[in-house]
A = this chain, B = another copy of it.
Amino acid sequence: MSFNTFGHMFRVTTFGESHGVAIGCVVDGCPPLLPLTTEDIQHDLDRRRPGQSRFTTQRQEADAVKILSGVMAHPETGVQVTTGTPIALLIENTDQRSKDYSDIKDKFRPGHADFTYEAKYGLRDYRGGGRSSARETATRVAAGAIARKILPGVTVRGALVQMGPHKIDRDKWDFDEIARNPFFCPDKDKAAFFEDYLDGIRKKGSSIGAVIEVIAEGVPAGLGAPIYAKLDADLAAALMSINAVKGVEIGSGFGAAELSGEENADEMRMGNQGVSFLSNHAGGILGGISTGQPVVARFAVKPTSSILSPRRTVDRKGADTDIMTKGRHDPCVGIRAVPVGEAMMACVLADHFLRHRGQVGSP
């Protein structure tokens, strides 16, 4: 069972509610002797942190992470390294403003998990969405920072590639651009466009969906465990488990349905460094196993349903009512999903790296 745990060899268990005492995670299975500091983790957390532009929730929180266990100064070098024991990470909740949420205590917000948590558990933590809040994803990003340490030579990078109906131009993709705009957008012109576009949405209290792409370069061939722990199946679960995600695709994805066998087959030729593929419709995965090409995944994020227009709903007593969500929210939650998607891919790859090494030996 894995209610709040993901991974097998590299296992992450997360806990915490949006407005509780703290959120955090336990990372189990990390190999020993890897250098790891708080700064390594904080760096990734800061990329996801809210309140950095007017396009994300104005919740102001340092999201300062503490390492509670699993590291020590190496007895010879003095460098702080992992010990092979579980690494517990803690992020205290400091800006909670519970009063913002009192009006939704008894009403189910359409499009949120309010109704389903109540249906399942008989109650729900209404303060900021409780466990179903996107705040939980901070712990994923923290775990992802550790996962990256396990993957020598692998780079995992994500980008926002669509907002509403507006897609980025593939031929204008520039990875360096991503850090220069508040949208993680690799297309400079589109980023400029998004600024106005999203301002409009924000000002009228609405929201919009997005598509994120994550690419892992340097992944060795051979990772993945058929039949039911295929690399793509594990990626699909990992990305679909992110809040508000409604679709996942690998390589050509849904586009592959429109291709012929001739078009879709990635041909091969011997190159200087082994087999070289002439295209990457497969997104770096065949038969559930990595090919050595870049692993490419995309996921669709729905618009948040926390909007200023009143919507029809019901309350806990079973009466019809209306609701308008106040509070601080992201007009496009897909933006902050970029580092989360990276983290999930890093975690899945780290897990499969260790699993492959166990079953077959070093890849």
Q: Quick check: is A86 within 8 A (CB to CB) of the other chain?
A: yes
Within the assembled complex, what's the spacing in Å between the Cα atoms of A300 and B87? 31
Report yes or no: B130 in contact with A85, Cβ–Cβ below 8 A.
yes
Of B20, B236, B311, which one neighbours A69 at CB under 8 angstroms? B20
Question: Which of these, B85, B121, B236, B252, contacts A131 with CB under 8 Å?
Answer: B85
Question: What sequence of 0s and 1s flags, for each residue 137-161 of chain A, a beta carbon within 8 Å of any chain B beta carbon?
Answer: 0000000000000000000000000
Is A225 in the interface zone, CB < 8 Å from B? yes
Contacts A22-B68, A130-B85, A254-B300 given; indicate if A3 touches B229 (C-beta within 8 A). Answer: yes
Over the window 297-330 of chain A, the binary record of Cβ atoms lying under 8 Å from chain B Cβ atoms (1 yes, 0 no) is 0001111111101011110101110000000000
From A29-37, A171-179, A181-189, the one touching the partner chain is A29-37
Given contacts A165-B258, A262-B206, A354-B358, contact A120 B86 (CB under 8 A): no
**Contact status A258-B115, CB under 8 Å:** no
A28 within 8 Å of B by Cβ?
yes
Contact with B along A236-270 (1 / 0, CB 8 A): 11111100011111111111111111111111111
For residue A74, CB closer than 8 A to chain B, the reply is: yes
Q: How many residues of A contact B (CB 8 A)?
A: 162
Complexed CA–CA distance, A105 and B357 (Å): 27
Tell me the smallest distance from the CB of A360 to a CB of chain B, in Å: 6
Q: Does A290 contact B (CB under 8 A)?
A: yes
Other-chain residue from B3, B207, B230, B287 in contact with A261 (beta carbon distance below 8 A): B207
Question: Given contacts A68-B21, A233-B240, A357-B361, is CB(A267)–CB(B313) below 8 Å?
Answer: yes
**A47 CB–B CB distance under 8 Å:** no
Q: A59 within 8 Å of B by Cβ?
A: no
For A256, the closest partner residue in chain B by CB is B302
Residue A194 at the chain B interface, CB threshold 8 Å:
no
Query: 1/0 per position for A8-42, CB-CB distance to B under 8 A?
Result: 11010111110011111010110111000000000
Residues of chain B with a CB closer than 8 A to A319's CB: 270
Checking B15, B22, B228, B314 against A6 with a beta-carbon cut-off of 8 angstroms, the contacting residue is B228
28 interchain pairs, CB-CB under 8 A: A3-B229, A5-B5, A5-B28, A17-B69, A17-B85, A22-B68, A22-B69, A22-B88, A32-B360, A84-B120, A85-B125, A111-B264, A113-B288, A115-B221, A115-B268, A116-B287, A120-B360, A131-B227, A164-B258, A233-B238, A240-B248, A247-B250, A255-B300, A262-B309, A265-B307, A268-B312, A270-B314, A278-B312
**Contacts A83-B123, A235-B240, A268-B314 known; 10 new A-B pairs at CB < 8 A:** A5-B5, A17-B69, A23-B69, A83-B130, A85-B131, A113-B286, A115-B275, A261-B306, A262-B307, A270-B318
- Which 10 pairs, one residue from A and one from B, show the smallest C-beta to C-beta distance? A113-B287, A358-B358, A247-B249, A116-B289, A207-B261, A111-B265, A110-B265, A237-B237, A209-B257, A256-B302
